[in-house]
Structure 1
Amino acid sequence: MTRHALDVSDDGRILTLSGSEGPLRFHAVWLRDNAQDEETRAPGNGQRLIALRDIPEDTRIEAAEQADDTLRLTFAPEGKTIAFDTGWLARHAYDRADDRAPGWTAPVVETWDSALMNAAPTGDFGEVSADPAARRDWLAQIARLGFARLTGGPVEDGALFKVVDLFGHVRETNYGRKFEVRTEVNPTNLAYTGLGLQAHTDNPYRDPVPTVQVLYCLESSAAGGENMVVDGFAVAQRLRDENPEWFDVLSRHCARFEYAGGDGVCLRSRRPMIELAPDGELIGVRFNNRSAAAITDVPFDDMPTYYAAYRRMGEIIDDPAMEVTFRLDPGEAFVVNNTRVLHARKGYSGSGTRWLQGCYADMDGLRSTLAVLEAGR
């Protein structure tokens, strides 16, 4: 039990809780809006049963009392008394100094570089499929680090769908539910050649972009072709630390991306290479030189700075100190958060075979599954 000192402002508009977390202030209208009683929230799913218009504009706290970890507040003019858990209030407190620099990341995010090489997150397909705790731990690594491998899977056409079934649903695109990654004659996409590819995010020309990519190995006897991942958030923060102006210009102005490689397909998007939320949180990276269109949304005077920043971002991405490299054998896969982690492939020879299948899914499904597993539901 955590005991808090309570103080209600004279006009009833602000409640202050003083405890081990320090003084935390809450507005009366916020508290009333976040009431958890059955008349405000549906017991089964937690969705609100009232709209903000149903809460009086002059809502204020008329009385406050605490018993153990429960805080009971009476709101005027409704005359309604609602119980709050003080631990819940402490976890959802918004009274904090906003001293975060642009490019900050959420607490769940852990950035990384090549030092992760010998500790790359990995799960066993059988264990992750059968054991909820193993699945939770594997998904938590993707949420924290932006990628994870999976080993010991079946070697069969379409096995990657079983990976997606562990956390969500396939997002079908113009490439179909899945696409093949192997050498082709006159390919429509450079991914289907034996060339090495610069680390990139996939499908930056889509809006919204697929937020999860799965690549699953079925054959791998060709020399080379190792997979590589780079933490785009670590890249962006390194650029910011080296030159804040360059970070700013890439996050403030939109790049353009385009793909028109097949009949009836012309995909275009306009988004910054470094995407920030309005409060400066780093929420996305889009980088794909192959799909970059003419950049036309940068003012004339800023274009030289933009290109200098763009060049430097590419150099940081190419720095071996930023990459984690591994080879996929048949029955192995890796999953990446496509809004954060760039992936690449080393070049491989024409002898032997190399066949991977890929598909897309989304992080909302992954985070939902993880939240359910963490809650033990």
Structure 2
Amino acid sequence: MPRNVHLSDDGLSLTAQLSDTQSYRFHAIWLRDNALDAETRSPGNGQRLITLADIPADIHITAASWAGDQLKVTFAPEGKSVTFPANWLAAHAYDSPDARLAPGWTGPAITPWDSSNGTVTRAPLATLQSDAEALCTWLGAVENHGFALSTDGPTTSGALRDVVALFGYIRETNYGPLFEVRTEVNPTNLAFTGLGLQGHTDNPYRDPVPSLQLLYCLENSATGGESILIDGFRVAQKLHEEDPHGFDLLSHYCARFEYVGSDGVCLRSRVPMIELSPDGELRAIRFNNRSAAAITDVPFDHMQAYYAAYRRFGELVDDPANAVSYKMAPGECVVFDNMRLLHARTGYSGAGSRWLQGCYSDRDGLLSTLAALRAPKAEAAE
């Protein structure tokens, strides 16, 4: 396909045709900073070898032309020429209409859900350990829906480590590398009782908060104790749909969280319940009534409305229409995004037993493993 390219603003930018119907503008400074040549980027790891100070402040483009699918660009005053593949430029284009997305939007990799479209993805642990394609699909479910379950694992203490090893590492906290979720005498946390628990995110008092949580079932013969998951992103979007002002209050003002449940531990954080990026993308939910401290960062004139929004958020969390529930079987492990999903459980009786082991991990490790698994497929498609 013949492609067009032309310079603008005395070479401070160019417009390149990347498809039959789409052209994009790129600034000279951006192109030079992102040059793909071996003098700018390490061939071994792709890391940048120069700083911005190494690029002349008066950088501009003197020539640009297509050779097949490669755009050759020459810069002055360096006299340096580099090439950019058309597909690379299309994947990194930043020239788009200012869409002004409504606060609470999510990217294409995330599908917010409620009970109408929440699906539980399950796969045997042995399959995940031996089949890269199955692992890729399973990790993709965690990225997209925020959770997935492994099944048919051993029912021995510490088996949880085998699940973490699929994608990353354990993040140790004051609860230890692994923690037990079962009834205790004089528990340090209400999670270690048979009480039902409202939907919540874990460790909101920690900064940074653990971004993944895993719960592995070793025993579950007690009556009750069903596990519940709620997509906090979808709950936040529903709040925005019915009360935009309330959404703005929960995302603008900081709540406070605190944990002082054991000797030598005093954890505190000051963060919004609904965390957004500067352009309104949903980044994280922090909701935990048990660990909420006194809210002191909301002005007097907004506190009444803030609490109304807080109450409504909790009502949406409690609404079965926004949840999926399941009863874990021994040998099953759920992995979920602790910065997005809230988890809960129904109460359970003293008859029988319910023993889960849990741990925390980090989402970046899971997403890194997923990207690496997908990379060979992307290369094969090119």
Q: TM-score range by the shorter chain?
A: over 0.9
Counting only pairs closer than 5 Å after superposition, residues 199-214 of structure 1 correspond to structure 2 as 199-214=199-214
Residues 308-351 of structure 1: CA distance to partner in whole angstroms, max 9, x if unpaired?
00000000011110000011110001001000011111111110
Measured after TM superposition, the shift of residue 107 of structure 1 is 1.2
CA distance in 2, matches of 1:21, 1:122: 41
Counting only pairs closer than 5 Å after superposition, residues 275-294 of structure 1 correspond to structure 2 as 275-294=275-294
Listed as ranges, the gaps of 5+ residues in structure 1 are none
Residue in 2 that maps onto 1:87: 87
Measured after TM superposition, the shift of residue 218 of structure 1 is 0.2
Counterpart amino acid of residue 24 in structure 1: Y
Instruction: Tell me the TM-score normalised to structure 1 length.
Output: 0.98
Measured after TM superposition, the shift of residue 361 of structure 1 is 0.2
Residue in 2 that maps onto 1:357: 357
RMSD: 1.1
- Alignment of 1:22 with 2:22, yes or no, is yes
Counterpart amino acid of residue 286 in structure 2: R
CA distance in 1, matches of 2:68, 2:125: 45
Residue in 2 that maps onto 1:171: 171
CA distance in 1, matches of 2:324, 2:255: 27
Secondary structure of the equivalent of 2:10? coil
Measured after TM superposition, the shift of residue 376 of structure 1 is 2.5
Q: Is the 8 A contact 1:116 1:324 kept in 2?
A: no
- Alignment of 1:102 with 2:103, yes or no, is yes
Residues 223-257 of structure 1: CA distance to partner in whole angstroms, max 9, x if unpaired?
11010100000000000011110000000000000
Residue in 2 that maps onto 1:42: 42
CA distance in 2, matches of 1:280, 1:324: 27
Secondary structure of the equivalent of 1:11? helix
Measured after TM superposition, the shift of residue 4 of structure 1 is 2.7
Secondary structure of the equivalent of 1:167? coil
Secondary structure of the equivalent of 1:306? helix
CA distance in 2, matches of 1:348, 1:36: 58
Residue in 1 that maps onto 2:380: none
Counting only pairs closer than 5 Å after superposition, residues 1-377 of structure 1 correspond to structure 2 as 3-18=2-17, 19-99=19-99, 100-116=101-117, 119-376=119-376
CA distance in 2, matches of 1:227, 1:193: 14
CA distance in 2, matches of 1:183, 1:299: 41
Counterpart amino acid of residue 105 in structure 1: T
CA distance in 2, matches of 1:273, 1:97: 30
CA distance in 1, matches of 2:171, 2:372: 21
- The runs of 4+ residues in structure 1 deviating greater than 3 Å are none
Counterpart amino acid of residue 5 in structure 2: L
Q: Go from structure 1 to structure 2 and tell me whether the alpha carbon gap of 1:71 and 1:350 turns closer, same or farther (over 3 Å shift).
A: same
CA distance in 2, matches of 1:242, 1:44: 51
Between 1:196-205 and 1:93-102, the stretch displaced more is 93-102
Counterpart amino acid of residue 200 in structure 2: H
Listed as ranges, the gaps of 5+ residues in structure 2 are 378-382
Measured after TM superposition, the shift of residue 91 of structure 1 is 1.1
CA distance in 2, matches of 1:175, 1:21: 56
Counterpart amino acid of residue 84 in structure 1: F
Secondary structure of the equivalent of 2:117? helix
How many residues matched? 375
Q: Is the 8 A contact 1:230 1:343 kept in 2?
A: yes
Measured after TM superposition, the shift of residue 17 of structure 1 is 1.5
Instruction: Tell me the TM-score normalised to structure 2 length.
Output: 0.97
CA distance in 1, matches of 2:4, 2:180: 62
Q: Is the 8 A contact 1:69 1:85 kept in 2?
A: yes
